[in-house]
Amino acid sequence: MSATAGTTARRKPLRTALAALYGALVPLLAALLLAAPPAAARTDAAADVPYATLTEVTGFGSNPSNLQMYLYVPERVTPNPAVLVAVHYCGGSGPAMHNGTEYASLADRHGFIVVYPSVTRSSKCFDVSSPQALRRGGGSDPVGIKSMVDWVLGTYDADPKRVFATGISSGAMMTNVLLGVYPDVFAAGAAFAGVPFGCFATTDGSEWNSACANGTVTRTPQQWGDLVRGAYPGYTGPRPRMQLWHGTEDDVLRYPNFGEEIEQWTNVLSVSQAPASTDTPATGWTRTRYGGTGDRAPVEAISLQGVGHNLYAYGTMGARVLTFFGLAGQDPGPQPQPSGCAVTATTSAWSSGLTASVTITNTGTAAINGWRLGFTLPAGQTITNGWGATYAPAGGAVTATNAAYNGTLAPNASVTIGYQANHGGNSAAPGAFTLNGTVCATA
User: What residues act catalytically?
Assistant: 169
Q: Does residue 433 sit in helix, strand or coil?
A: strand
Task: Name the maximum alpha-carbon separation found in the chain.
Answer: 70
Q: How many CB atoms lie within 10 A of CB 397?
A: 9
Are 152 and 115 within 8 A, CB to CB? yes
Hey, which bits of 335-381 come out as E strands? 341-349, 353-362, 368-369, 372-376
Q: With left for phi above 0 and alpha for psi between -120 and 50, is residue 319 left, alpha or beta?
A: alpha
Q: Please give the DSSP secondary-structure letter assigned to residue 190.
A: E
Q: Of 160, 167, 152, 178, give the one whose Cα is nearest residue 55.
A: 152
Q: Please give the DSSP secondary-structure letter assigned to residue 338.
A: P
Q: Which residues neighbour 48 within 8 Å (Cβ) at sequence distance 6 or greater?
A: none
CA pair distance 387, 417, nearest whole angstrom:
6
Are 258 and 301 within 8 A, CB to CB? yes
